[in-house]
Amino acid sequence: MNLLERELHYPLGEALPEPGRTLEVAPGVRWVRMVLPFALNHINLWLLRDEIDGVAGWTIVDCCIARDESRAQWEQVFEHELQGLPVLRVIVTHMHPDHLGLADWLCRRWNAPLWISATDYHVARVLLHGGDTAAGGEEAANFFALHGLNDADVLGQIRARTSYFRNLVPALPSSYVRMLDGDRIAIGGNTWRCISGYGHAPEHISLYSEALGVLLGGDMMLPRISTNVSVHAGEPEANPLRLFLASIARFRELPADTLALPAHGKPFTGVHRRIEQLEEHHRDRLAEMMEACSQRPHSAADAMPIMFKRELDAHQTTFAMGETLAHLHQLWFDGLLQRRRDADGVIRFSLPNAR
């Protein structure tokens, strides 16, 4: 446990759900944990006891990526944890593959509707049918090259990765139920309020139950790592860090003892302190970018080792480039840096009026 984690409280200690089983974290709220084949090696999913139109059952929150191991774990959960009751709906906090991947399979398996924000549903449809310009393909490779990435092997791997999203999210339900900021959803005997968030996904929806004192934070409120906030080829002029920081600040209105159920990591209390930690983290990274660019012009690729000091593979490089650029963009939008396309065709950031 690092020093920042010690400032948070983990009420369940080191307890984790066993594969294919659940752990109750609040009345009617059960924790499912599934393995991911990435550096971020797990995702937390949630079962909420529910009743719709007089039918008792469960609501699933988030789904895991589409792969046989995940389906097998879900089947174990269905066999051992549902008390013979059906799944009544599937809620997805946002469209990233580890959250959306098995939504179509789950909805078909239980004849249950998908609940998601309209923005994330339609962005997912575009990625499914048109290619993921954030994760790979020619556009992504050209975008990263424009921002200084010149490793031919890494660019080749990015250029060849044209089916990343489709491999993890092979299908989507043909319809959905839209969730909007401020909506109040009755799930079982409790009301859950939708809280929209931006900067990490197009329109992430977290859910808060006042009666339970529980926040289903998805990827917007993680205890151990900082949520990825990236600029990518599909929205090259974005300022996602400003959006993300404004979004997490909204959680300050929640009570100090709120139990946060994150998509990665363990359930924790201390949301207010975690907001401060994330703000401090990004403030420090912005200061590092300013210091570097005050010495000489930096592309995102030049600045990436300042923010990410460990060795990165091609997949991690796409996230690191996007996040470095997010910090440079905030400083550029704030007028603290200027950007210019140099003679070599690379965009670099420097102090205003610098030569």
pLDDT in tens, 43-95: 999 999 999 999 999 999 999 999 999 999 999 999 999 999 999 999 999 99
For the four alpha carbons of 129, 320, 225 and 329, in that order, the dihedral sign comes to negative
Backbone angles phi, psi at 116, to 5 degrees: -165, 160
- Report whether pLDDT(157) > 90: yes
- Contact of 47 with 59, CB cutoff 8 Å: yes
Rounded Cα distance between 9 and 271, Å, is 10
Q: What is the mean pLDDT of residues 339-354?
A: 94
Provide the domain limits for residue 267: 3-350
Give the whole-angstrom CA distance, residue 305 versus residue 104: 39
> Average per-residue pLDDT in the chain?
96
Q: Is the pLDDT of residue 1 over 60?
A: no
What radius of gyration, in Å, describes the C-alpha atoms of the chain? 21
Contact present, 61 and 207 (Cβ < 8 Å) = yes
Give the tens place of pLDDT for each residue, 4-25.
778 999 999 999 999 999 999 9
Tokens of 107: 């909805």
216 found inside a domain: yes
In a domain, 141, yes or no: yes
The reply to whether 171 falls in a domain is: yes
pLDDT score at 135: 75
Instruction: Specify the 3-state DSSP secondary structure of 315.
Output: helix
Split into its structural domains, the chain has a count of 1
pLDDT digits (tens, 9 = 90+) for 272-306: 999 999 999 999 999 999 999 999 999 999 999 99
8 belongs to a structural domain: yes
Coil, strand or helix at 187: strand
Q: Do 269 and 259 touch, CB atoms closer than 8 A?
A: yes
Q: Band of the pLDDT at 355, cuts 50, 70, 90?
A: low
Tell whether 128 is covered by a domain. yes
CATH number at residue 70: 3.60.15.10
How much of the chain, in percent, has pLDDT values that exceed 70?
Answer: 98
Q: What is the pLDDT of residues 313-346, one digit of tens each?
A: 998 999 999 999 999 999 999 999 999 999 999 9
What's the pLDDT band for 353 if we cut at 50, 70, 90?
Answer: confident
Whether 355 is covered by a domain: the verdict is: no
pLDDT at 124: 97
Instruction: Report whether pLDDT(130) > 90.
Output: no
- Determine, yes or no, domain membership for 198: yes
Please give the Cα distance from 292 to 306 (Å, whole number): 8
Supply the pTM of this predicted model.
Answer: 0.96
Q: Which residue has the tokens 């709906």?
A: 89
Percent of the chain residues past pLDDT 90, beyond the cut: 92
What is the DSSP pairing of strand 29-35 with strand 23-26?
A: antiparallel
